[in-house]
């Protein structure tokens, strides 16, 4: 199978540098980015589209869906990592927010929970569940998943490291593998090689 992973277009939170809320929409630029990536995907064969149900991904996926003439199935497993609700809607540069982020990061590295955020074990399991489902239901198809930066990185991390993935490895990958808005990542599964990462964060359409 061929798996296309597309990050949502620029959101208002991306533009204004604050932490997302589930209902944060695309910015004007994000809508235009979604239209451009939809045009890029127009002539690429795709059999099925999944999307995270969060507003920014839903908007992006619906623009692509209209271009492709394919319906979208919204899939909870593709949602972004859940961060502490205390930081939702707050500036990334806020001192209190920075302190909460640092404490939750240290908890994540230890496999623990700081408050109500998602743990490494939970995110790790969700990434593997996505891959398991795709192979079970779409092994001989080409599938597009519209998701988020960190969730895309977890799916790729599971492909690269499998059960050897640790919180430390993932935090390093998350920091150094940049994912642009509407960047396209392409993975492939074959019986001979299993999963491979073929393309990371292609933004040549922008």
The answer on pLDDT for 103 being more than 90 is yes
CATH fold, domain 2-202, is Rossmann fold (3.40.50)
pLDDT at 21: 87
pLDDT tens-place string over residues 140-171: 999 999 999 999 999 999 999 999 999 999 99
pTM of the prediction? 0.96
Residue by residue, DSSP assigns the chain as -EEEEEEPPPBHHHHHTB---TT--B-HHHHHHHHHHHHHHTTS--SEEEE-SSHHHHHHHHHHHHHHT--EEE-GGGSPPPPPGGGTTSBTT-HHHHHHHHHHHHHHHTT--SSSSPPHHHHHHHHHHHHHHHHHHHTTSEEEEEE-HHHHHHHHHHHHHGGG--HHHHHHHHHHS---TT-EEEEEEETTTEEEEEEEEE-TT-
- Ranked by mean pLDDT, the top range of 12-21, 42-51, 93-102 is 42-51
The answer on pLDDT for 186 being more than 90 is yes
């Amino acid at each position: 199978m061929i798996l296309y992973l597309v990050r949502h277009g620029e959101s208002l939170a991306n533009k204004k540098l604050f932490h997302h809320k589930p209902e944060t929409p695309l910015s004007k630029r994000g809508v235009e980015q979604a239209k451009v990536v939809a045009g890029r995907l127009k002539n690429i064969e795709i059999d099925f589209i999944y999307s995270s149900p969060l507003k920014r991904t839903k908007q992006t996926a619906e623009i692509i869906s209209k271009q492709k003439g394919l319906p979208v199935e919204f899939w909870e497993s593709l949602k972004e990592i859940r961060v502490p609700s205390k930081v939702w809607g707050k500036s990334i540069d806020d001192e209190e927010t920075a302190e909460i982020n640092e404490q939750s990061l240290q908890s994540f590295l230890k496999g623990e929970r700081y408050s109500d955020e998602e743990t490494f074990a939970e995110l790790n399991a969700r990434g593997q569940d996505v891959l398991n489902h795709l192979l079970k239901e779409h092994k001989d198809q080409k599938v597009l998943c519209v998701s988020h930066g960190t969730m895309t990185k977890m799916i790729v991390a599971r492909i690269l490291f499998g059960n050897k993935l640790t919180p430390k490895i993932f935090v390093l990958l998350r920091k150094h593998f940049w994912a642009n808005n509407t960047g396209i990542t392409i993975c492939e599964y074959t019986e001979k090689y299993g999963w491979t990462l073929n393309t990371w964060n292609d933004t040549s359409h922008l």
